[in-house]
Structure 1
Amino acid sequence: MSLEIRKIVTAIDETFIEGGKAAEKPLKMIAVAAVVKNPWAGEFYEDMQPVIRAHAPQLGERLVAELAKHTDLDAVEAYGKAAAVGMNGEVEHASGFIHTLRFGNKYREAVGGTSYLAFTNKRGGPGCVISIPMMHKEDEGQRSHYLTHEFTVGDAPGPDEILVAIGAATAGRPHARTGNRYQDMEEMKAERESAGLVDA
């Protein structure tokens, strides 16, 4: 059984000014989505693995190839993924294609990432909001790259479809200044030590 792709959709957002101040490095966020026929729609399949193994790698490769049309893959700093299943499917169907290393590793390897891919998976109808949370491809604690790219596809997902997407960002948030996870950890450790709550 081949995986039927009805359409490929790309959503690009570029930010040049944030908070009234020009970004030192403009932020470009790109989402690439495939709208595919849901191979499990309308029935309960106990074993979804045969379809996942057959099609998740090819879907990952196709989306990465589409992403490469819109940015140099080496320029990707943050990434994520998302899937939405139509109303005749289960959320498990949306999860099936994106929650497998056979899909995720295609993207990670293409951009040199080591972090896990942040994600959303949901059920929704045509035009539902697709949210792709992102984080730095190599450093989960780098808060400057905690981003969300949202978009809609007016006619997808249909009742018997799944929308599968990957997201990329070429920079962190303009003027990021909330620190990072490691800074918090060091400060909180110092605070506990000064309060005598831990051994120095």
Structure 2
Amino acid sequence: MSMLEIRKAITVIEHLHREGDRVVDPPIRSVIAAAVLTNPWSGRGYVEDLQPEIVAVAPMLADCLVPACVEAMGGPDNIEAYGKTAVAGLDGEVEHASALIHTLRFGNVFRRAAEGTSFLSFTNKRGPAGCQITFPLVHKTDRSQRSHFLTVETTIADAPRPDEIVVAIGAASSGRPFARIGDRHRDMELGAV
């Protein structure tokens, strides 16, 4: 039996056509690709060394989620912002969720596929089935671009179950529509403290 037991995988696609009273042209596409999996540490009590499961599971999760996300975005050229998240079910530890996404065996696969260089912004938490799955995105090559400080979110009505983890990645084709607050470099030029 594999350490990776996925109960379901979902892909959520959103196209933003209007912001306020203005048309967004072209529409901004956002994608969330998520997997609901059995927590590989479930039922084992406190586990000191999480590495064997990280090494076994994280790359397989990346192999499942990254192609789905990149394909739904229409390829890496259509990705400008990205991020990741994990939510442990109520019987799991936040450390279990963190373990599966805070490893280069997961993050680097997405970063390379998206042709990015920035760190993957993230959230990790514990929650019940149907909890809000919310995570930030940043520009894939320039994390100083505030226009690409975005948030994507979804819910999965029946996940995570107490013995599960939801792992998700997200991407967007653009920053916020009509962004106009500048970036950190501009603040420095203006003499911000």
Q: Provide the TM-score with structure 1 as the length reference.
A: 0.92
Whole-angstrom CA distance in 1 between matches of 2:188 and 2:27 = 29
Residues 21-36 of structure 1: pairs in structure 2 closer than 5 A: 21-36=22-37
State which of 122, 127, 130 in structure 2 corresponds to 1:119.
122
1:128 to 123, 128, 131: 131
Partner Cα distance (1:73, 1:106) in 2 = 14
Alpha-carbon distance in structure 2 between the residues aligned to 1:73 and 1:137:
14
Match of 2:109 among 106, 128, 147: 106
Secondary structure at 1:69 match in 2? helix
Equivalent residue, structure 2, for 1:47: 49
With 90-99 and 34-43 compared, the bigger mean Cα shift is at 34-43
Q: Kindly state the Cα deviation for residue 132 of structure 1 after the two structures are TM-superposed.
A: 1.8
AA of the residue aligned to 1:181? R
Q: Identity of aligned pairs, percent?
A: 54
Residue 8 of structure 1 corresponds to which residue in structure 2?
Answer: 9
Contact 2:30-2:73 at 8 Å conserved across structures: no
Question: In 2, are the aligned partners of 1:91 and 1:121 still within 8 Å (CA)?
Answer: yes
Task: Report Cα offsets for 1:83-115 as digits up to 9, x if no partner.
Answer: 000011000000010000110000000011000
Q: Displacement, 1:69?
A: 3.4
1:60 to 2:67 alignment: no
For 1:55, the aligned partner's letter is V
> Which of 166, 171, 174 is equivalent to 2:174?
171
User: Any idea what SS the aligned residue of 1:113 has?
Assistant: coil
Map 1:124-163; keep pairs closer than 5 Å: 124-163=127-166
Instruction: Find runs of 4+ consecutive structure 1 residues off by over 3 angstroms.
Output: none
Question: In the alignment, which residue of structure 2 is the partner of 1:197?
Answer: none
Q: Is the 8 A contact 2:73 2:171 kept in 1?
A: no
Q: State the TM-score, normalized to the length of structure 2.
A: 0.95
Q: How many residues align?
A: 190
Alpha-carbon contact 2:29-2:73 (below 8 Å) kept: no
**By how many angstroms is 1:134 displaced?**
0.1
Retained in 1: the 8 A contact 2:70–2:114? no
